[in-house]
Amino acid sequence: MDFEFDWIILYNLVISLVAIIVLQVVGMLIFFIKTPFNDMDELKKGNVAVGLALAGKFIATGIILGISAYTNTSIWHMALWFVVGQVCLVIVYWVFELLTPKFKIADQLQKGNVAVGLLLCAVFIGTAISISSLII
């Protein structure tokens, strides 16, 4: 059996991995910009609520990127679905904020309200699963 290493496959794999990592980081930066407090400072303080919200955002972005990478052969199409997914996640955050008029989500996260952090985590993940069904 003759085995010849295919450099094109390796090149495509590396480019795809770099694109996924960059887009994942961009997704997290969007969330950092969106919150009125410093997420990293809150994590250093041990704020579980912020950690849960960030985890949900990270998982949601990963779900969207994973499905878009799996179903698209073009990095540009994957990036396009990433943008669609991020816009949907931001809209869902705003809708979640509208549905909780008695308190501001960011304030509750900063105060360490784990219930709000967990619910936001689930909202992000559920939204990502729903968005993924559009990509397929």
Tens of pLDDT along the chain (136 residues)?
A: 667 778 888 888 898 889 889 999 998 888 888 888 999 999 999 999 999 999 999 999 999 988 988 888 788 888 898 889 899 998 999 999 999 989 999 999 999 999 999 999 999 999 999 998 888 7
Using an 8 Å Cβ cutoff, are 53 and 28 in contact? Answer: no
Instruction: Return the pLDDT at 60.
Output: 94
Instruction: Return the pLDDT at 95.
Output: 93
Instruction: Return the pLDDT at 6.
Output: 84
Which residues, other chains included, contact 9 with Cβ-Cβ below 8 Å and sequence gap of 6+?
Answer: none
Please give the Cα distance from 84 to 135 (Å, whole number). Answer: 10
The tally of CA atoms less than 13 A away on the side-chain side of residue 127 is: 25
Instruction: Return the pLDDT at 1.
Output: 61
Instruction: Return the pLDDT at 48.
Output: 97
What angle is formed at CA 21 by the lines to CA 105 and CA 132, rounded to 5 degrees? 60
How many beta carbons lie within 10 A of that of residue 22, not counting itself? 12
Quote the pTM value: 0.84
Please give the Cα distance from 127 to 73 (Å, whole number). Answer: 24
For 98-115, the DSSP string reads HH-TTS-HHHHHHTT-HH
Q: Which two tokens stand for residue 58?
A: 């990270």
Using an 8 Å Cβ cutoff, are 128 and 60 in contact? Answer: yes
